Structure 1
Amino acid sequence: MRTRVRHVQGAALLASGLLAGAFGYGAANVVPTFAAVPLDVRLTFHTAMMKVNEPVMQTAMALAILSSFGLAVVSRGLPRRLAIGAGALTLTSLLVTVFGNVPLHAHIRQWAAGSVAEGYAEILQRWETFHTIRTLTALAAFVLIVAIAVYTRPATR
């Protein structure tokens, strides 16, 4: 049984780390780059990036959620509670994306294809705020999974 816990733990560590890393890279590098280029370049790049990112990030979020909750199923005690917390945080990242960032993508696509509406700066700022929230929740989930791996012993079920 212990081997199964370690495998699930490894999957959760990998999935949550990849998700936090991807969101972190976006927050640390892509968002500041958006601010440094002309608006038409940002909109074109943002629209093209969304086409590639959507399936990749949705898959990464799903794997992180499933592996975190899977770790909760095969664990007991503190590791179970931490894994539930990590799963809930990752689920929060998904919900922020679906109900925060994705609806704003429709505006960005329209602007890239035509003219930019008044108040665009506020909408772009909201997208960045949602991105920050989902980045922080994904990072917190990763920290919880790391804590399980580093500080707890897997219990056999």
Structure 2
Amino acid sequence: MRVRTTKAIAVTATGLLAGAFGYGAVNLGPTFWSVPLETRLTFHAELMKMNSPVMLTAMGVSALGALALTLQTRGRERWLAAGATALTATSFLVTRFGNVPINAQIKVWAVTSPPADYAEILHRWDLFNQTRTATALAAFVLLVIAQSGSGPRATRSATPSS
């Protein structure tokens, strides 16, 4: 029962994380490039006020859920969960050391003015965003595969025959 609950938490949290990053990469990212720079900077700075605690929580629950699953399972499931743990940790590290410092710059630019190389910096932010989106999505896929490999068939084969 405990493993089933852990799987549910890990898959759900990681799916929400991948979905949120995916939405941002597919919808917000291109929109940011289509609006005037002042609009982008103001919206981006405001978005980060709410986005930061929500995404940090999602990344934390995803990583901890995958790690707990790694510790509770064996064999193929363990390897898949360990991979998902590494991928969610990578999403966190890319966010923390890639996106967050640029977010801090954007916050300043929103009330002052951007530097001459702002476009290069914003493209780098996009690259970090695409990277963390891909790692979160890959983690979700690994957890779905792990989940699908432990259904009733696996339970039946684990019980002795009469």
Q: State the TM-score, normalized to the length of structure 1.
A: 0.95
Cα separation, 1, equivalents of 2:79 and 2:150: 12
Does 2:57 correspond to 1:59?
yes
Deviation at 1:105, TM superposition (A): 1.1
Q: Is the 8 A contact 2:18 2:140 kept in 1?
A: yes
Alignment partner, residue 12 of structure 2: 14
Larger Rg: 2
Selected match of 2:129 from 110, 131, 136: 131
Alignment partner, residue 112 of structure 1: 110
Deviation at 1:152, TM superposition (A): 3.6
Residue type of the alignment partner of 2:58: A
- CA distances 1:86-139 after superposition (whole Å, capped 9, x unpaired): 000000000000000001112101110011111000000000000000000000
Cα separation, 2, equivalents of 1:54 and 1:129: 18
Alignment partner, residue 140 of structure 2: 142
Give the count of matched residue pairs.
Answer: 154
Q: Is the 8 A contact 2:77 2:149 kept in 1?
A: no
Return structure 1 stretches of 4+ with deviation > 3 angstroms: 152-156
RMSD of Structure 2 on Structure 1 (CA): 1.3
Question: Please, which runs of 5 or more residues in structure 1 have no aligned partner?
Answer: none
Cα separation, 2, equivalents of 1:56 and 1:72: 24
Alignment partner, residue 97 of structure 1: 95
Q: Map of 1:34-49 to 2, 5 A cutoff?
A: 34-49=32-47
Cα separation, 2, equivalents of 1:137 and 1:145: 12
